[in-house]
Amino acid sequence: RYLKDAESGEAFQAAMLELGVEVQLEIMEWGTLFEQLRQPGMPADLFTLGWSTATGDADYTLGPLFGSNSLPPDGWNSFEYQNSDFDALVATAGTSTDQDERAGLYAQALDILAQDAVVVPVFNTKETILTSANVSGFKQHPIDYYLWLGTTSLGE
């Protein structure tokens, strides 16, 4: 489960109720949610799931999460989203070596996702890292929670 996932779900449920929409909230253990996410036709209209682009490349996220060829049970497209224009943009971007071209293609793909309202990003977590005075060279990884110690040393 994720940090504050139950509290976030309850806050969402309360906000929707204020709008006159009743939400049946079910907070699951990770194993149960994972099992349901990996099945076609997941019986939920909404769910909370996190994903980090560990490689820093858009291809790591866009194809696996939203590509038509990544449907459950073999893939992570639990939204069961299918859009041939999106797929074509991501496929072309994934094979291009021109970084400007890739950025433009991925931007177009993201516009399609936004227009189709496939997901609603709710929040991002931020990690706080403290070190003692005798630690030097530590650098925070761009996606926060990966601990990279390749440049870190410990003095006396």
Select from 74, 3, 8, 72 the least CA-distant residue to 46: 8
- For the entire predicted model, the pTM comes to 0.78
Measured between its terminal Cα atoms, the distance across the chain in Å is 38
Closest CA to 93 of 131, 67, 130: 67
Locate the domains of the chain by residue range. Answer: 1-49, 51-122, 126-156
Overall average pLDDT of the 75-102 stretch: 97
Q: What is the distance between the alpha carbons of residues 96 and 148, in angstroms, rounded to a whole number? A: 29
pLDDT band of 81, cuts 50, 70, 90: very high
Q: Could you report the per-residue pLDDT of 32-68, keeping only the tens digit for each?
A: 988 888 889 888 888 888 787 778 899 999 999 999 9
